Chains A and B, each alone.
Chain A
Amino acid sequence: AQSVTQLDSQVPVFEEAPVELRCNYSSSVSVYLFWYVQYPNQGLQLLLKYLSGSTLVKGINGFEAEFNKSQTSFHLRKPSVHISDTAEYFCAVSPWGTYKYIFGTGTRLKVLA
């Protein structure tokens, strides 16, 4: 079985400051890793994903994430946030060869002026 842990339910940060949203996972099989963002009154939108290759993945809107296999982590970072980044962010894993997605509980990022 797989599980995804997002320990921070809320992260407040000032505009133009850096931010890191943490994601740890547990799995006995190999997985693909994803970060999705959900803006108010919208569905989830893919930010980035790790399938293979370089462990540093760049996504949309200036976000990036690094896959760390030994620590089973896939933390999301942005060097300088904007007010428009205020949203909920979900980490997810998908076991190889399956359609299953296992999501974390989400982290609400609030960017303050």
Chain B
Amino acid sequence: ETGVTQTPRHLVMGMTNKKSLKCEQHLGHNAMYWYKQSAKKPLELMFVYSLEERVENNSVPSRFSPECPNSSHLFLHLHTLQPEDSALYLCASSQGTSGGDTQYFGPGTRLTVL
């Protein structure tokens, strides 16, 4: 099993659709992250979960809703998105959240909002 997996790899959705992104880590880590990667911009941290508790919500619009049912799984629920939300969404995990921990990234979901 690869360390961090994400499904689907590609997603095209209309502005009125509801969809979910899934992330699973097989590393026994305690923290999981969602990032947004847009062209020519730094990675944007969206959400952080530590031991299944959300510790960061980085001023993300409410049309993005995270869920962390256990330490191995992380979801990002999407609804009524805008075209500017089109981007690569990356999931990552780390052993802890005290700094210095290596983050392990999944391959990402390429999202296109029409």
Contacts and interface: CB of A to CB of B under 8 A. Distances in A.
Interface of A: 4, 9, 32, 34, 36, 41-46, 49, 51, 90, 94-106
Contacts of A44: 90, 92, 103, 105
Interface of B: 4, 6, 31, 33, 40-43, 45, 48, 50, 55-56, 90, 92, 94, 97-108
B42 A104 contact: yes
Contacts, number: 63
A9 B50 CA distance: 33
Contacts of B105: 36, 43-45
A4 B48 CA distance: 21
A94 to B, nearest CB: 5
A51 B100 contact: yes
A89 to B, nearest CB: 13
Given A43-B105, A94-B100, A101-B103, 12 more contacts: A34-B102, A36-B105, A42-B107, A44-B103, A44-B105, A45-B105, A46-B102, A98-B99, A99-B50, A99-B94, A105-B41, A105-B42
